[in-house]
């Protein structure tokens, strides 16, 4: 074979190779364009139904009877526990006040005797001073416990706090006015430990 024939054959082969390469490049470009079209985001009108479906899922779960029943049972249990806690604390506080009131009530006869001792006249100043100190200490102790004496003299008679044992007519006094206290009344907070024994006018 002559050199001219070999050169023509090689040129023909090279042209075929270049044509094949160009065809391959065009096919790749076409495939890339197709892939880009597939990966383009869908229009907003196409997304709307998907979002609506996602929003409807929790609503469908909320409509589940078993889930609703469990939620209602949980809320009721929480409310019952809160009521139990408050009721227990209230009963505890009331029990403490009752015990304190009963304890203080057992010491009130000592208070009455100290009042009688102070009412007696005596020439022994040391004795009188000692009784006064005991009474002051007794009252300070009751005050620390939250026990208060009723302010009765000159007040209007109230059966919720006073026990009237005598009645007197006195034009200078008001109607149902307490003019004398025979036995002091005591309270713990709003609770009466002992009713005041009083004399009422008019």
Q: Does the residue 189 lie in any domain? A: yes
Q: Does the residue 116 lie in any domain? A: no
pLDDT 10s digits, 102-122: 999 999 999 999 999 999 988
Q: Does the residue 188 lie in any domain? A: yes
Residue 188 phi/psi, 5-degree rounding, is: -120, 105
pLDDT at 5: 47
Query: Is the pLDDT reported for residue 52 higher than 60?
Result: no
Q: Does the residue 183 lie in any domain? A: yes
Query: Is the pLDDT reported for residue 70 higher than 70?
Result: yes
pLDDT-based confidence at 82, cuts 50/70/90? Answer: very high
Q: Domain range for residue 197?
A: 148-202
pLDDT at 13: 64
Q: Does the residue 96 lie in any domain? A: no
Q: Does the residue 17 lie in any domain? A: no
Distance, C-alpha 73 to centroid of its chain: 21
Number of H helices, E strands in the chain: 5, 6
In this structure, are strands 196-201 and 162-168 parallel, antiparallel, or unpaired? parallel
As a whole number, mean pLDDT of residues 183-196 equals: 92
Structural domain total, the chain: 1
Query: Is the pLDDT reported for residue 130 higher than 70?
Result: yes
Tell me the torsion sign for CA atoms 138, 140, 146, 148.
Answer: positive
CATH number of the structural domain spanning residue 175: 2.30.22.10
Q: Does the residue 28 lie in any domain? A: no
Q: Does the residue 162 lie in any domain? A: yes
């Amino acid at each position: 074979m002559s050199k001219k024939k070999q050169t023509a054959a090689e040129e023909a082969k090279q042209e075929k190779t270049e044509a094949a390469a160009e065809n391959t490049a065009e096919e790749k470009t076409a495939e890339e364009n197709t892939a880009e079209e597939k990966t383009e985001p869908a229009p907003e009108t196409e997304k709307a139904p998907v979002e609506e479906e996602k929003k409807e899922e929790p609503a469908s779960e909320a409509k589940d009877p078993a889930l609703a029943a469990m939620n209602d049972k949980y809320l009721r249990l929480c409310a019952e526990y809160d009521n139990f806690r408050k009721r227990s604390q209230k009963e505890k506080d009331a029990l403490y006040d009752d015990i304190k009131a009963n304890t203080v009530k057992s010491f009130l006869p000592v208070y009455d005797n100290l009042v009688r001792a102070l009412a007696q006249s005596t020439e022994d100043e040391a004795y009188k001073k000692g009784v006064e100190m005991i009474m002051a200490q007794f009252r300070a102790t009751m005050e620390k416990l939250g026990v208060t004496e009723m302010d009765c003299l000159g007040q209007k008679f109230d059966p919720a706090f006073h026990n009237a044992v005598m009645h007197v007519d006195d034009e200078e006094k008001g109607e149902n006015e307490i003019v004398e206290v025979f036995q002091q009344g005591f309270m713990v907070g709003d609770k009466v430990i002992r009713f005041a024994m009083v004399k009422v006018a008019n």
